[in-house]
Structure 1
């Protein structure tokens, strides 16, 4: 099952194993069991003195196998043949079970080891899911470090009966002690925050002791990362507060329009952003949400940012880059098929649907522009608008009407996005004029009903546009002295990754210019 190049790489990795491990398989007569046996035997052949295979496992899920030091029940199990995106999860489990230290901060390791209680996690995943490995790897690590944590990664394709019984329509889906725990991409810190009840209080106490910053960046997406790098290169004390480093990029499947990077995936791009920021002396405070901004009481004074956990941070200047989120249509199927046919950025994801049939929900400028853009790539576009007529500019509507592979339905209320459990296969809508119900067979749905800037916490403090975006000048300055903003959260047009990075750099330079021109109060 493993090609020559992969075998060579694995031999090098397995040199890092410091204690022998065994793979204990629970098998049956299904073809999948034969595939699992073949994979495990191949792995053992690559490091016969370090990896041993047993076929006498007693787990009720068959086929499945555990990864553990010889004679030790570690609590890491795969009810799957972990190839595809999950192959990295398997390799990391082998190395960590074999004693190779994980690349995690010492304080995180201590937090995992100190967890009290018994935790049995089950993760339903797909081998083609690019968000699933982060969850699987985080929970496997917790099981390696704490004997009271157990985790099994379950391939939904092998265990359809469980999928149907638990009515799972999206992956990753995590259960804890038999109850739903979470769905979608989750990082290790997010999982720990949910199971460690004292984490928030400890975080608040730790953050409250931090000295004021020269520049504090709120948000860890492309704009925030760029701002942090530019600030740190000036030699000033810089901090970043982010709910999740990478922001909306983490939810992007493919990126093919960031100049100089031919193609990449959102999670890889986000990881590169964080790695770049960490090469500088930047204090990154991840998994923290800002809830209130308190302007400085005097010119040149400290601006205060209050966090959800009760802590407060202060800084001489602020760069807000909290981004925006796609406005959801909020119908059944939208969340389940996000990144599996449901998309929000035609510039980014449109090429993935080349030669296929898609729908666009929304008849404003963004929706009509998306339909025009997609019409040059896909086989057919169906545009649905809730109102009686399209709301886009006349020139755009005229262009749209000239395209032979576009059909427009006004007075159309989207009621459901349908799929086969793995990907989108259609869309249902109701004609508001007649009440008649329709279903359109297609492979993709682009939701284009606008963006929602993440500015709820700033209302009444900073000037916002009628769309809720932060109003900024040419340097990124907001209506509050010392507070700058960048990226999708602002009034800057064209919400694109490459524009956000430049915007973040500009705001940081603007904030630095403010610092050197503003006297510090005694």
Structure 2
């Protein structure tokens, strides 16, 4: 299963093992089990510190565990962790084998101190680019704390269980058999949810920080660029973000980032963070800004966080980005995660062979329909306008597919469901006024973006669309407060545009500082 290059890399990785690890396989008679065993045999053959037994009796088959000989394993994989999850497997092998994780020591100590018994299960799809972060976080927690165990479950191989548990989005996490969370979850976020004191301790640490020269709110492309340019000026720089990387983390294919022919969102986000950390930047992740408290001229501006912490800074750059726009029709919120989805790459495999709809005829919607057509039984794409807005090359590809139907001039009016999951979509034909229904198992919403600016209403000037009003130098209506990226009125919501705006905002903030009286 593994080509020569991957094997060569694996040999180098496995040399980092500090102790012998044992893989225990629980196969069945399926083809998937044969593929799983072939993979495990290849891995075991690459290091004398990896042993393999094929006599496991796990409840889910095919599956395998990774642990130490003579001990009950706390990490297991139900399925074949290839695709995006291959890295999760390699990290599990290394960490069980004693190789230290690249995580702050205080986080490790916090995990080790959590009392209680926690058994996590994460349902994933191998095409999901958010799932590995959750799997790797929970695996690390299981390695660190004897009271924690975790199993990754490939939903495509356990369809009966997916249906029984009404799982219609990945990653979906269960804790001790009960729903725990869905979607991207960072390590610190998971720890905070099971360790009630973690949030308060972190808030106290954040509030104790000295004032910044520039504080950037948001960790996407605009925020990262602003942080780098500010730090290079030698001024005290901080970044507070709900999740570093922002919406880029939810973007799979990126083919218009100049000088890079093709990459993906998580890879770009990791590169952004790595670059920012090359400088003396204080990154405070998993912190949601709740209020901007402007002060009199010459004094410090405050940012209050949802955790209760407060940060102070001489200047502030707002780069909170945008999020997927919702349809705002009856049934959408009720069935979110139960048939209503926003990430076709992540959740598409859960609808294999079924009928789904894509809402939106722009590039995102058409790309989603094309991708889904290779997985699901049938795709209906609905567009509000009379024509699609996607690039011509994408439309040509879309109309070449035999299992795709396009409906224009369609106004979605309601998501229909049976009380547990989506079973259809109601819409109005805008040309005839006729009300119609489509029977569906899933609805993927791709209709543009909304700025993350609600928390700023009444504080500074916003456009009618909720975007932060800025001038040519990224200045807002408040002295010393600047803004950049998708949350602003700047046209064209693109990664390269956001980076340029973040750079401009940092340079403007620096110029403001050197022209202002010291606080």
Q: Same fold (TM over 0.5)?
A: yes
Is contact 1:215-1:238 (8 Å) kept? yes
3-state SS in 2 of match to 1:7: helix
Determine the C-alpha separation between the residues in 2 that align with 1:227 and 1:408.
Answer: 41
Residue by residue, what CA displacement relative to the aligned partner does 1:401-429 show, whole Å, maximum 9, x if unpaired?
Answer: xxxx9763255536469xxx9xx999663
Q: Which residue number in structure 2 is paired with residue 5 of structure 1?
A: 5
3-state SS in 2 of match to 1:317: strand
Deviation at 1:274, TM superposition (A): 0.6
Determine the C-alpha separation between the residues in 2 that align with 1:371 and 1:268.
Answer: 25
CA gap 1:428/1:10 in 2 versus in 1, 3 angstroms: farther
3-state SS in 2 of match to 1:378: helix
Q: Which residue number in structure 2 is paired with residue 310 of structure 1?
A: 308
Structure 2 length normalisation: TM-score?
A: 0.87
Deviation at 1:88, TM superposition (A): 1.0
Q: For 1:407-418, what aligned pairs fall within 5 Å after superposition?
A: 408-410=408-410, 413=413, 415=415
Q: Which residue number in structure 2 is paired with residue 384 of structure 1?
A: none
Determine the C-alpha separation between the residues in 2 that align with 1:87 and 1:155.
Answer: 12
Q: For 1:186-265, what aligned pairs fall within 5 Å after superposition?
A: 186-265=185-264
3-state SS in 1 of match to 2:284: strand
What number of residue pairs does the alignment pair up?
Answer: 489
Determine the C-alpha separation between the residues in 2 that align with 1:25 and 1:32.
Answer: 12
3-state SS in 1 of match to 2:504: helix
Deviation at 1:351, TM superposition (A): 5.6
CA gap 1:488/1:142 in 2 versus in 1, 3 angstroms: same
3-state SS in 1 of match to 2:254: coil
Deviation at 1:113, TM superposition (A): 0.6
Q: Which residue number in structure 1 is paired with residue 352 of structure 2?
A: none
Deviation at 1:33, TM superposition (A): 2.5
Determine the C-alpha separation between the residues in 1 that align with 2:370 and 2:441.
Answer: 12
Is contact 2:360-2:382 (8 Å) kept? no
Q: Which runs of 5+ in 2 are unaligned?
A: 349-357, 374-378
Q: Which residue number in structure 2 is paired with residue 335 of structure 1?
A: 341
3-state SS in 2 of match to 1:489: coil
Matched, 1:489 2:495: no
Residue by residue, what CA displacement relative to the aligned partner does 1:130-182 show, whole Å, maximum 9, x if unpaired?
Answer: 22111111111100000000001111122222111101111111100111111
3-state SS in 2 of match to 1:191: helix
Comparing 255-264 with 187-196, which one deviates more in the overlay? 187-196
Q: Which residue number in structure 1 is paired with residue 26 of structure 2?
A: 26
Is contact 2:22-2:51 (8 Å) kept? yes
Q: For 1:76-87, what aligned pairs fall within 5 Å after superposition?
A: 76-87=75-86
Matched, 1:375 2:395: yes
Residue by residue, what CA displacement relative to the aligned partner does 1:228-278 show, whole Å, maximum 9, x if unpaired?
Answer: 001000000000000000001111111111111111111111111111100
Determine the C-alpha separation between the residues in 2 that align with 1:46 and 1:73.
Answer: 24
CA gap 1:337/1:238 in 2 versus in 1, 3 angstroms: closer
The counterpart of 2:381, out of the listed 359, 373, 379, is 359
Deviation at 1:375, TM superposition (A): 3.2
Determine the C-alpha separation between the residues in 1 that align with 2:73 and 2:250.
Answer: 32
Structure 1 length normalisation: TM-score?
A: 0.86
Q: Which runs of 5+ in 1 are unaligned?
A: 382-404
Matched, 1:461 2:459: yes
Deviation at 1:101, TM superposition (A): 0.6
Determine the C-alpha separation between the residues in 1 that align with 2:59 and 2:441.
Answer: 39
Q: Which residue number in structure 1 is paired with residue 353 of structure 2?
A: none
Determine the C-alpha separation between the residues in 2 that align with 1:82 and 1:136.
Answer: 11
Residue by residue, what CA displacement relative to the aligned partner does 1:9-50 show, whole Å, maximum 9, x if unpaired?
Answer: 111111000100101122233333232222222211111x20
Q: For 1:9-158, what aligned pairs fall within 5 Å after superposition?
A: 9-47=9-47, 49-158=48-157
